Every structure is written in structure tokens, then in C-alpha cells.
Structure 1
Amino acid sequence: MGRGVFHERWAVRVSIIMCLLGGPAYAADSSEKKMDHATPNDVLDCRYQQPDRGEMDSEWFPQDDLFRPLLADPKQPQFFALWQSQQSRIERTNANIGSIGVGENFGFYTRRTGCNGWQISLLTGIFAQFDLDTSNSELINIDFNVGVPITWRQGNWSARLRFYHQSSHIGDEFLGSHPGFQSIGLQYEEVDLILSYDFKKWLRFYGGAAMMVNRQPSTIDRWTGQWGFEARTPRPLARSYVFGLLSNPLLFSPVLTADFKSVEEQGWHINTNLLMGFDMSRVGSFKRLRILFNYYHGYNPYGQFFYSQKTESFGAGAYFMF
């Protein structure tokens, strides 16, 4: 078991380094991509902005995307560190869980007029959960995602079509401390489609469906329905120069977002994930930092626990966008 734990930890470290190398591509110098009517420090991020005009443009390795990530989706590839107080609703047990996500979309090619057009990217995501109540914070489960999303935008409408693979692995230390637990080696390929509408720059609604095309075990039902919303102020409510230390202020915007999933394998039970907090950004940068509080009610969204473990949790964490 010691050798397995050693190799498992090295696999996690290597995967995290790979995602970190890919993620900062969004934070590269963005001076070449300006809005026609913007100040010199403004950059165009089509995930959050819609210019009044623009020219037809084709670009390799775009820094932004045409579809805004689903912030409240627990399986959205993104960088986050989250603490959760989790209760198992069947066993009536409580645990402190550390949840870490590492991942992003790497834009390959886009063709657009302003923010209207399409884009093809590569997604990578790692989702790991740790039991913080154990002396060594043992790894419970880790999911690896890789796939290809195609995104589209026309005005207030946007969409994402995605094909991806997930491979899930139970931690060796967790298996060692739970001798009766059976790992099923969950893995699958899934196609999903999400359609989104932005209402007056402060409210967003989205919905769609997903279907597993290959899965192990093969008895798992295929279909998932998903919908949600995201609300934020159309303009930042506050700005700070941090006691004069910054020449370019930090902008603060409150955020409230919720994601809902109904899964066929779970008897179409509705899983709810609610996030609220503050989004911090800076003019002239693609980077964002969010401090968010979390409430989750439903089946555990990770690994093979997704069809057997009902949970309720609350917590807080930091989310990073590049």
C-alpha cells in the first residue's frame, strides 16, 4: 500500500503542475486585444463583456472564451480550494472535507466578430477530496477530466457543446481505513450541451442536458438534466487602492449563483449547489479572485459516490480564474 500511495501522490502532483502550466495562458499580455471604445487599460473578455461593434477576426490560442464558465457547477474545470462541513444523510455522520479543483479551458482557435462567433478549446480538470478529520488528511477520491468544448455566442445567447472523459480513483489511504469499501473503477465519456442567456448584464440563466456515451460500469443510466442562474451587479459596487499601494484599483462585485442537476441514475433527484460572495477583478486583467460561501444538498457529485451517497454540506472557499 505504501508504494501505491507514493505513486498516487506523484500522479496528483504531476497532473496539478500540468494544469498550472496551461492555466496562466489566460493571464498573458493582453494589450493586443482592446475594445474600440475602451481606455488603454481595458481588455475585452467575452465571458463578461459584449462590445457594441467589432471586426471579423480569426485567432489562434485566444485568451478568453465566448461562454462564461458555470461557476456553481461542482464539476466545472476551474481552480478552487474549498472547506466543507459535510453530513452524510444516510449514515448521519459528519466530516470536515477539503475539496480542491485544478483546471481550465485552453483556447485553441476562435473566429468571431467582436464577441459573436465560435471557439474550440481543450479542457482539463482535476477534482480531489480529502478527509480533514484524519491525521494525514487522507485522499478520499480524485477525478480526472479531459475533453474538447466548442463554444458559441450571438448577442445575449451563448452555448457550449462538450465531449469529455472522466476517470475516478479512490484514495489508497481511504481504502485502507475502510476495508469493506469496494472501488468500482468508475470511468465514462459524456456529451453535454448547455444554452445560456444573459439578461441586461446582471442576470444569467442556463439549461441543458448530458448523455454518457460510454461508461464503466455499463449499468449506469445515461442521462442528466442541468440548469441554473448567476446574478451579479452590472457594475462593481466598490473599488479599493489598498491604502494607496495599487495604481490600478481592485473592483468588488457581489455574486449569487446556483446550479441544479437531475440525474437519471439517482431517480431524477435534484441536486442543488448554491454559492454567494464577492468577485474581485482588476481593469486590464483577465484574472479574477472570488471568495464564496457554499451550500450543497444532494448526491455527492464526485467519483463513484455520485450514485450512492446523499450529502448536505456548507463551507467557504477561494475560486481563481485566469
Structure 2
Amino acid sequence: MNCSHWIFRAPCSSNTSRASVLLFALLGFASTLTDIRAGEFPPLSTPLPEAVGAVDRYFTQAITDHESLLGVNQVVAHEQVISEQIISERVISDHVLSEHTIETTSGLRTVEPMGWSILPDGLLYKSYLAGPHEPRIGMVIFSDTEEGVYWDATLGGRVGLLRYGSLGSSDPNGWQWDLEGAVMVRLDVMSSEDVDSMDFRFGTLITRADGPWSAKMGYFHISSHVGDEYLERYPLFERVNYVTESLVFGLSYQASDPLRLYGEFAYGVKASGGAKPVQIQTGAEYVPAPLSPQRGGPFAAVNLDIRQVVDFSPTMNLQAGWQWQGPESKRRLRFGLQYLNGYTTQFQFYDQREEQIGGGLWFDY
């Protein structure tokens, strides 16, 4: 059958079924009878060529009107689906206590469930990548330009105990109570990896996150101890009982997707063994989005540690390397190079200057 014939002037594509053609024919026939009664069809006395042209124009217009109606119906159906989707996104289960509205980059507002979580996933305030005293799992092997080769190892972490906020772990918002702890050990590689010293840290934090801003306030304890092997090698060394009990406040701002800026102030309400109360940290981190979670991506970070105990002389720590990050948990596995210039990170030797060049591996919570 020739699809250009005037009776079946419907779209003849591979998607047009025989049922559609038959439907067009029946509708056209019924409409023709109605229009003949209304006098809209050409009279029987009209010459055949003119009658054929008039009928062809009539059915062409009818099919066009029908296709327009189908298009309108599709738009209405599409809007209905979108409306149902928006409504479904706004429906919150009975277990959710409230909702949190977020402004997205597209200008639309989405509703994020808010509620109480025990042992929540993720952190509202991330640890500093280049912070040498942050609770994490990591190790750095470095050469001190004046003394030898050392291995600094950190074993610890920070976890959330209770949260009121986002129920997910990916870039959460709200309030959270955290617990942290770590031991930071220095081994002398050139002396059979003897333990020179170790610093213990534990504390608790209340953290808050809202969009690009996050803050923390809390308490932490630091105490430093010298290794037995070190005392055997240097029997005249006088150990110090370096201890601080500090209140801390920190503020972090995600200036853009890859760039984070932060600052921290801690005050030791109790300090002994040569320690003094004021401790300041500030820094920046640049972590562009990776091409894929499997490939990872680069990172760079700088941290300045400024302490009253060394007359506020800054210690600078630079790191750069490659990192992988969990798409949901946001935990990081990193490896890279490190350069530190300033005072030692081991508080047993707090007044000694060091220049470290080395490499490390870190796991950040």
C-alpha cells in the first residue's frame, strides 16, 4: 500500500503499526460522515480532481491536529511524571523527624532527610591532610638533614558517636559528637628501629556542618613519653613530662570543590613539662575531583603549626601526591611526598628544629 495515498496519510515510519493506520482510517471515516452532514465536505457535483484535492487537504489537517493533540498529551504526561517525582522526593518516612533544604547548583531545591543517628557514617569536620598531629593511620619515612633517617608512625582515628543531621555519609550536614585518639611514634631507622619517643592524644569534639562551612569545638589531651631504647643510648638525657589539656575551636570553609581553607585555635587549660597554652593551626588543601573512584586523583596540602612554646615560630608541613576517596564514606587513602621545616612534631623534643624530606602513606577518616 502506498503511504502517500490520501486516505492513509499518516506517518509511515518503522514505529507506525497497522493498528495505528486502521485507527486513522476509522477515525477519518467517522469524521467524514459527520462533516458531510455539516456541509464541510465538497458537494458531489464538484469535479473529481478538485474533490480529491479538497479531501486530501481535509485529512492532512485532521492528522496534523491529531498529532498536535498527542504532543500536548505527552507534555502533560511528562509534567505529571515530574510532579509525581517531586512529590515523592518530598515524602519523608515516619522515622525522619524533620527535613533540611539544600540549594543545589542548578538553582532547584531538594529535600534532604534529617534525623538522629547512632554511630553515624562520615565526619562533619574533616581532619587536616597535612596536620602532623591529626588522629589517623599513617607513616612517614624521612631524612633529617642534620641527624639521620626516621620513621614516624601514627595509629588512631576519629569516629562519630551521635548525630542529628543528614542520614547519609556523603557530605553530611547537622551536628555530631566525635571521639578521637591516636599514638604517634618515632622510630630511629639507623638504630635498629628503636623507639625514640611517642605522643599520645585523645579527645572529644562537637562538630557542625552547613553547606561549605564546618566548625568544631572540644577538648583534647596530649602527653609525650620517651622510649626506653633512647634512654639507653643517651643515659644523660633528661626526659620532660610534656602534657597539655586543651580546649579547641576550629573553622573550615570549602571555598570551591577542590579548595578548602581552615584555621584552629587551642588553649591549654593545663600545661606542664615545658608546654605553654596557646596552639594555632592554619592551612589549605587542594583536592580536585578524580576522573573515577578507581583511578583516584592528585592532592596537595600545606599546614602551619604555630605554638607559644617555641615563641610562635611557625612549622610548615607540605604534602603532595595521589589519593583515592570513598564515594560515600569520603575516607581517603593517600601516598605522596612530605617536606617539613620548623620544630619537631615529637613533643618530647619540642624545642629542637628539624628539616624533613620524605614520603608517606596515610589513611584519613
So what's the TM-score if we normalise by structure 1? 0.75
Tell me, what secondary structure is at the counterpart of 1:173? helix
Within the candidate set 87, 97, 109, 2:162 is matched to 109
Post-superposition offset of 1:182: 0.5
Aligned to 2:355: 312
Decide which structure has greater helix share: 2
Aligned to 1:236: 290
Q: Distance in 2 between matches of 1:183 and 1:125?
A: 21
**Where does structure 1 lack aligned partners over 5 or more consecutive residues?**
1-35, 37-49, 88-92, 240-248
Aligned to 1:144: 200
Post-superposition offset of 1:303: 2.2
Query: Is 2:333 aligned against 1:289?
Result: yes
Aligned to 2:177: 120
Residues 243, 275 of structure 2: 8 Å contact kept: no
Tell me, what secondary structure is at the counterpart of 2:130? coil
How well do the aligned residues superpose, as a CA RMSD in angstroms?
Answer: 1.9
Residues 262, 270 of structure 1: 8 Å contact kept: yes
Residues 250, 282 of structure 1: 8 Å contact kept: no
Aligned to 1:270: 314
Q: Distance in 2 between matches of 1:70 and 1:212?
A: 20
Residues 210, 225 of structure 1: 8 Å contact kept: yes
Tell me, what secondary structure is at the counterpart of 2:271? strand
Q: Distance in 2 between matches of 1:184 and 1:150?
A: 31
Tell me, what secondary structure is at the counterpart of 2:241? coil
Post-superposition offset of 1:286: 4.8
Tell me, what secondary structure is at the counterpart of 2:193? coil
Structure with higher Rg: it is 2
1:33-89 alpha-carbon deviations (Å, 9 max, x no partner): xxx8xxxxxxxxxxxxx98641111100012110111111000000001101113xx
Within the candidate set 251, 267, 277, 2:295 is matched to 251
Post-superposition offset of 1:284: 5.1
Following TM superposition, where does structure 1 have runs of at least 4 consecutive aligned residues deviating by more than 6 angstroms? none
Q: Distance in 1 between matches of 2:328 and 2:214?
A: 24
User: Against the structure 1 CA distance between its residues 95 and 53, is the aligned structure 2 distance closer, same or farther, given a 3 Å change threshold?
Assistant: farther
Tell me, what secondary structure is at the counterpart of 2:148? strand
Q: Distance in 1 between matches of 2:152 and 2:265?
A: 25
Aligned to 1:171: 227
Q: How does 1:35-74 map to 2 (within 5 A)?
A: 53-74=111-132
Q: Which has the higher contact order (CA 8 A, sep 6+)?
A: 1
Residues 151, 161 of structure 1: 8 Å contact kept: yes
Q: Distance in 1 between matches of 2:111 and 2:212?
A: 14
Post-superposition offset of 1:282: 4.7
Post-superposition offset of 1:147: 0.8
Q: Distance in 2 between matches of 1:176 and 1:165?
A: 28
Q: Distance in 1 between matches of 2:348 and 2:215?
A: 28
| Equivalent position amino acid for 2:336 in 1 | L
Tell me, what secondary structure is at the counterpart of 1:251? coil
**Where does structure 2 lack aligned partners over 5 or more consecutive residues?**
1-88, 90-102, 105-109
Post-superposition offset of 1:283: 4.2
User: Against the structure 1 CA distance between its residues 287 and 155, is the aligned structure 2 distance closer, same or farther, given a 3 Å change threshold?
Assistant: closer
* Count of aligned residue pairs for this structure pair: 255
Q: Distance in 1 between matches of 2:327 and 2:143?
A: 35
Residues 97, 131 of structure 1: 8 Å contact kept: yes
So what's the TM-score if we normalise by structure 2? 0.66
